Amino acid sequence: MNIQTKYNGEVIIGETDIIAFEKGIPAFEEEKEFIILPLGEGVPYYAMQSIKTPSLAFVIADVFSLFPTYDIELSQHEVEELKIQHPTDIKVFTILTIHEPFEKSTANLQAPIIVNTKEREGKQVVLSNVPYTLKHSIAEVLCEKQEV
């Protein structure tokens, strides 16, 4: 099937590329199907594109590529909801809020996107009692990567 996307133009996708968000995303509960598309080669940034709404795409990143010490624990309810059988079945993403210049961009570490890549199920999990924020600066991470 062909879909129009916010950042990648028109793309061809298969049914197996679609990730189902049973309850949608907070504030976007009607959006239940997304696809994750790369935003470039060799970068940890992606567009989580709505299948239904071409203008709706979240810029996301593999959380561990930006924050290697990031650590969360899912509840048993969330594990069951996402049908997770093994930890290697999941990918954890953070939604980025992009600012100019890019170094002022932030990552939402308090509400990661969890995707069961095997079952194609996804959910934004809102964490409580964690040291993470909704607007964690990525400037520190970018500086560290440039120094290497």
* Each residue's pLDDT tens digit, 42-73: 888 999 999 999 999 999 999 999 999 999 99
Report the pLDDT averaged over residues 80-87: 94
Whole-angstrom distance, CA of residue 66 vs CA of residue 60: 11
Report the pLDDT averaged over residues 106-110: 96
pLDDT of residue 146: 47
pTM (global) more than 0.85: yes
| CATH number for the domain whose boundaries are 2-147 | 2.30.290.10
DSSP states of 38-84? ESSTT-SEEEEEESS-TT-EEEEEEHHHH-TT------HHHHHHTT-
The domain limits of the chain are 2-147
pLDDT of 143 > 60? The answer is no
- For the chain, the average pLDDT equals 91
Whole-angstrom distance, CA of residue 117 vs CA of residue 110: 21
Report the pLDDT averaged over residues 75-79: 93
pLDDT of residue 103: 85
**Integer angstrom CA distances of residue 39 from 5, 30, 54, 129, 147:** 12, 25, 16, 32, 23
Of 131, 48, 60, give the one whose Cα is nearest residue 93.
Answer: 60
Whole-angstrom distance, CA of residue 126 vs CA of residue 131: 13
* Residue 64, CB-side half-sphere exposure with 13 Å CA sphere: 6
* Each residue's pLDDT tens digit, 19-40: 999 999 999 999 999 999 999 8
